[in-house]
């Protein structure tokens, strides 16, 4: 039996850092339900496209089940809430404050579901002067200086071929989630707000 068999994760994520975290949890046996907007995860449009399907999307979202919910629709929002209450873990990578405005943030579940592990992934963390800003892997590669040591000597900065910032963040988020799940399994408190940012709060 895989180590996370029996763990249910509801994922509200797009593109890479969050979905990569969900993929790692799914690979370890967790049941991951990916909630997508009506237009779908934008990564569904990323090449290479094979027979109408994105190979990039398929590789990062393997072993998951998917459901379409419009979270601005009250009935769909109620369905999302039921899903969360049935889960062990919530994983989201919206900009800070979005899930709270939808009534699906950590604070709205901590009393009703005391064992829930809630993980938020963002570019700059949930607090701090840049927390409201979005960001992609290439943004962080540029800010961190990684691009300055990639490419030809004396040439312009070059993006790494692998999205190291997104995948690194997803990996640390998965490690944090598993750590808290272990504490929950031992009878400890589970309502933890796991804040995993691509760039530490500045």
Contact (Cβ atoms closer than 8 angstroms) between residue 7 and residue 181:
yes
The ranges assigned to domains in the chain are 8-136+164-197
Q: How far is CA 5 from CA 25, 29, 65, 88, in A?
A: 10, 5, 15, 12
Residue 4 half-sphere exposure, CB side, CA atoms within 13 Å? 25
Selected from 3.40.50.10540, 1.25.40.10, 3.40.50.12280, 3.40.1160.10, the CATH number assigned to the domain covering 8-136+164-197 reads 3.40.50.10540
- The residue from 41, 137, 166, 195 that is catalytic is 166
Query: Angle CA(91)–CA(64)–CA(136) in degrees, nearest 5?
Result: 50
Q: What is the per-residue pLDDT across 59-113, written as a single tens digit (0 to 9) for each? A: 999 999 999 999 999 999 999 999 999 999 999 999 888 999 999 999 899 888 8
pTM of the full predicted structure?
0.89
88 catalytic? Reply is: no
**Is the pLDDT assigned to residue 202 strictly greater than 50?**
no
3-class secondary structure, 155: coil
């Amino acid at each position: 039996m895989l180590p996370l068999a029996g763990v249910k994760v509801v994922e509200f994520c797009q593109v890479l850092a969050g979905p990569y975290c969900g993929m790692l949890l799914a690979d370890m046996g967790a049941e991951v339900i990916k909630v997508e907007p009506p237009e779908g995860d934008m990564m569904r449009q990323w090449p290479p496209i094979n027979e109408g399907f994105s190979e990039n999307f398929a590789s990062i979202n393997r072993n998951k089940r998917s459901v379409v919910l419009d979270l601005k629709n009250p009935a769909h929002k109620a369905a999302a809430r039921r899903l969360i209450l049935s889960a062990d873990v919530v994983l989201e990578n919206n900009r800070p404050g979005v899930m709270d405005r939808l009534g699906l943030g950590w604070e709205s579940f901590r009393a009703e579901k005391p064992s829930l592990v809630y993980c938020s992934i963002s570019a700059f963390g949930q607090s701090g002067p840049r927390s409201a800003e979005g960001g992609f892997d290439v943004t962080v590669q540029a800010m961190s200086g990684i691009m300055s040591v990639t490419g030809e000597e004396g040439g312009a900065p070059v993006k790494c071929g692998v999205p190291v910032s997104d995948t690194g963040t997803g990996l640390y988020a998965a490690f944090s989630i598993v750590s808290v799940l272990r504490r929950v399994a031992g009878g400890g408190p589970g309502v933890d707000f796991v804040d995993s940012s691509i760039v530490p709060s500045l």
